[in-house]
Amino acid sequence: MSVKVKLVFFIVLLAIIPVIIINVCASVKVNEVADELITGNVTNILNNQSENMNIYFEEIIASIKEIASSENVKSYTSESNGSDFVFSEESEEYIGITKNFDALAAFDPTLRKIMLINNSGMIIASTDSSDIQKRMSNYKGLFNLAQTNNGISSFFMSGDDTPSFIVTKSIYSADNEFQGIVYQLYGTDHLQKSLNTIKLNKYTAVAVMDNTGNLLEYPYKVLQSYSNSDTYKNAGEVLRELINSETSNIKNKNTEFGAMSKKRVIFNSYISTPGWNIVAISDKFGLEQELERKISSVRNVSVILIILSLVGTCIFVYIFTKPIDEILRVFPKKQRGDVNAQFNIKSNDEFKQIALAFDSTFNDLFESDQRYKTFVDITNNIIFEVSFKKNTVFVSKNFNKKFSFRPKDDSTKESFLYKIRLHKDDRDRYLNDLDRLLGPSNFMQGEYRVKSIYGDFIWIMIKATKFYNRDDVPTKIIGVIMDIDKEKKSEMHLLQRANYDALTKLYNRETFIKSLDAQIELSNTKKSLDAMMFIDLDDFKFFNDEYGHACGDEVLKFVADTLKEICFERGFAGRFGGDEFVACLTNLTLYGDSGKIAQEIIDILGKGFISESTGAKLAIHCSIGISFLRENGKNTEEVIAAADEAMYNIKKHGKSAYAYAKSKSGEISASGELAPNTSKIDDVIDDVIS
C-alpha cells in the first residue's frame, strides 16, 4: 500500500486535533484571564486608591499652606520672636488663630493637633492649651522637615500608642525672614478607611509604606518595618528598591517572586505628594489553584474525548508509521551533526525515497553549517539570525561576554531583540527600526545605547539584512552587532568640548550665538514671540576676593544650574563670558511672561545656596536686560546689544532687577520693577525627625 493511501486513513484520525486545539486554547485563555485577574484588577484598584490618598494629602498641604500664609499668623509669629514678647491668651491675634485651629480640627477628625512654633522652638498657639509656651525638644528637626518631602514625616507611634504622622510648613515674614512653622499632627484613620475600601481577595494583603519602609497594615495597632513583617519581609529586595529609587519607572510596578506553592506577586502604586507607596502582596499560587478548581469539570470532559481519540489514533499510528519512527529516530542525530547516522528503511515506497533525499541534503547542510560556525567563532562582532519560519533567534556565543541577558527560550519575543535593556532615549527609535525590519523594510542600521554586563550603557551599531526565498517570501534576517562605544564616546566628547562651556556645562559664546541666529530665523518665519535675556551678576568680584576663586566657581555653577532648570523646555541658555550669562526664551504667550521668568531667576538666586568650599550661605544678585527677537533687532548682534543696553540701565539704577529693551520707536515696550533683596534664613537645620 502506498504512502498516499496510508495518509488518507491517518488524516481521518486528525479529528483529534480540533479537540486538542480547543483544550490548549482554553488553557491558554484561562492563564491569560488568571494573569489579568491577578495583575490588572489589583493594579487598577491600587492606582485608584493611591489617587484618592494623594488628593487627601494635597488637601492637607493646601490647608497648612493657607495657615502659614495667613497675615495674622505671620504677624503673631513674628511678634513672638521679639525679645519683648509677652504671651497673652486675651490677645485678639491669639484668639483668632486658636478659633481657626479649633474649626479646622473639628472639620477633620484625623487632625489631632495644630500648633504654631516660633523660630526658637517655643509653642505659641495650639489646639491643646497645655502645650502653650513649652519648647519643642526636636524643633530643629521639625524646621528641617518643613523644607523636605512637602513637610510630611514618616509614620510613628504617638503618645496614645496609635500610628500617626506630622505635616509641617515654614512661616516667612513679608520680607522673607523665617519666623517658625505650622505643626499638624494627623492620625491614620483616613488611610485605614481607604485601605479597608480596597476590595481584593483573600489571597492578597494591602498596606501603606512610607519612604522609610514603615508599614501601616491591618489591624493598624502597631507600626513595623517591612523587614519585620511576616507578610512583606520576603519581598524586601523589591521594597528596598521602591524606597531608594528616584526614577519614575519604578514607582508603579508589579514584581513576581518565589516559586511553586510560594509564588507571590507584589504590586505598588506611588502616592506622589508624601512619596509613599500602596503595596499589596498576592499569593499567586493560591489564586491559580482556585481558578484551576473552577475549570476542572470542563477539562475532565476534554480529557475523556482526547483519550478516546488517542486510542483510535494509536492503532493506526502503530501500523502505518514505522518508517516515520525511523526518520524521527535518525533526524535528531543528523541535526546534531552526526554524519554517520543513516536512515534504515526497508520498504520500497516513498518513505525510502524521502530518506535518501534527506541523507544527501543533510550532508550538504553539515558542510555549510561548519563554514558558518567557523566564521562566527573567529569574528569579534556578534552575529545573530532571525528565522521567520521557526520564529526563533540565534545569537553567537560572544554575546554573553558583553550582555548578561538570558532568554527564556529561542522565540523572537523572548530574545534579546525585544528584551535587551536599552537607554530610555534610544528605546522608541530602536523598536521603530526593529518593527520596520520585521515588516516592510529590507535593511536596518542604527546606533543605540545598551546596558552591558557591567551595568553601564555602551554604544553599539546594529546592521541587519532580510533574505527572501524564490517566492519572494521573507525567510530570515542575518545581522551583526558591533561595539562602537569607544569611537562614539570619543566623538561625543569632542562635540561636547566644542559646544559647551567647560565650567558651567552651558552653551559657550559661539554655540549660543549660532543657536540664537537660528532661532531668529525661525521666529521670523513662525511669527512667534521670543525673548533674549542678558544676565550680569552684581558684585561678583566680591566672592572671588572674599572667599577665593573656588567659591567664585561655585557661584557660577549655581547660576548655571538655575538657568538650566528654568530654561528647560522654555528655550536654551549659555555663558557669554566671565560672570555674564545669556538665555533665549521661545514661544512666549505674552510680553510680560519674560519678565516673570526674569523675576523668578532673581528670586531663586537671591535665596542663595550653601557653599561647599566656605560653609557659608551665599545670596546672589543679578541685573537682567530683556530684548525681543523680532522687535529689538534684525540680527543676532542687534538683539544681544539691545538686551545688554537694558541690563546696563539696571546697573545704573540700583541693580538686582530686570528691564526691557527699548522698542524700534524709542519707547519702552515694558517696564521692570526693582525686586527687593531677599533675606537669608538664619540657620540651616540639620536634625531630621525620626
DSSP labels for 189-247? HHHHHHHHT----TTEEEEEE-TTSEEEETT-S--EEGGG-TTTGGGHHHHHHHHH--S
Q: Look at residue 687 in the predicted model and tell me its pLDDT.
A: 28
What DSSP string runs through 647-690?
Answer: HHHHHHTTSSBEEEPB-TTSSBS--PPBPPPPPPPS--------
Length of the chain: 690
- For residue 156, list its beta bridge partners: 164
Integer CA distances (angstroms), 463 to 202, 387, 396, 480, in order: 52, 16, 15, 5
122 near 133, Cβ under 8 Å?
A: yes
pLDDT at 669: 42
**SS3 of residue 28 by DSSP:** helix
In order of 77, 248, 355, the CA distances from 93 in angstroms are 10, 45, 103
For residue 532, the model assigns a pLDDT of 96
pLDDT at 366: 63
Q: Does residue 154 surpass a pLDDT of 60? A: yes
Give backbone dihedrals phi and psi of 173, rounded to 5 degrees, phi first. -75, 175
Taking 60 as the threshold, does the pLDDT of residue 681 lie above it? no
Tell which residue, 605, 630, 627, 631, has the closest CA to residue 618: 605
3-state DSSP assignment of residue 449:
strand
- Pick the range with the lowest mean pLDDT from 283-287, 291-295, 317-321, 327-331: 317-321
Contact, 652 vs 587, CB < 8 A?
no
Query: pLDDT of 37-56, one tens digit each?
Result: 566 678 888 889 999 999 99
SS3 annotation, 513-575:
HHHHHHHHHHHHHHCCCCEEEEEEECCCHHHHHHHCHHHHHHHHHHHHHHHHHHHCCCEEEEE
> What element of type H or E holds 123?
strand 123-126
Amino acid, single-letter form, for residue 467: F
Q: How many CB atoms lie within 10 A of CB 436?
A: 13
Taking residues 194-210, report their average pLDDT. 86
* CA–CA distance, 362 with 660 (Å, rounded to integer): 83
- At residue 15's C-alpha, the angle toward residues 13 and 17, to 5°, is 105
Instruction: Phi first, then psi: give them for residue 450, nearest 5 degrees.
Output: -130, 140
Q: How confident is the model at residue 555 (pLDDT cuts 50, 70, 90)?
A: very high
Name the nearest CA neighbour of 117 among 186, 185, 180.
180
Residue 670's pLDDT is: 40
Residue 443: pLDDT over 70: yes
pLDDT at 375 over 50: yes
> Which candidate, 609, 605, 610, 649, places its Cα nearest to that of 626?
649
Contact, 607 vs 558, CB < 8 A? no
| pLDDT, mean of residues 19-24 | 68
Tell me what pLDDT residue 488 has.
75
Look up residue 191 and give its three cell numbers: 488611610
pLDDT category at 407 given cuts 50, 70, 90 is confident
Specify the 3-state DSSP secondary structure of 369: helix
Write out pLDDT tens, residues 483-505. Answer: 888 777 766 665 656 688 889 99
- Label residues 543-577 b or e (16+ Cβ within 10 Å = b): beeebeeebbebbbebbbebbeebbeebbbbbbbe
Question: Cα 387 from chain centroid?
Answer: 35
Q: In Å, what is the CA distance from 196 to each residue of 52, 119, 165, 213?
A: 13, 40, 19, 20
Q: How far apart are CA 645 and CA 624, in angstroms?
A: 10
Q: Single out the residue of 271, 278, 281, 153 nearest to residue 208, CA to CA.
A: 278
Instruction: Kindly indicate the confidence band of residue 330, based on its pLDDT and cuts at 50, 70 and 90.
Output: confident
- CA distances 77 to 98, 172, 295, Å, are 13, 9, 69
d(CA 53, CA 69): 24
pLDDT for 685: 22
Q: Would you place residue 622 in the very low, low, confident or very high pLDDT band (cuts 50, 70, 90)? A: very high
pLDDT for the residue numbered 403: 79
Cα distances (Å, whole numbers) of residue 126 to 104, 114, 203, 558 = 12, 6, 45, 40
Q: What is the pLDDT of residue 243?
A: 80
Q: Taking the alpha carbons of 131, 134, 138, 140 in that order, is the dihedral positive or negative?
A: positive
Residue 446 has pLDDT above 70, yes or no: yes
pLDDT of residue 229: 85
Q: What is the mean pLDDT of the chain?
A: 82
More confident residue, 362 or 521: 521
User: Which among 156-170, 364-378, 519-533, 657-671 has the top mean pLDDT?
Assistant: 519-533
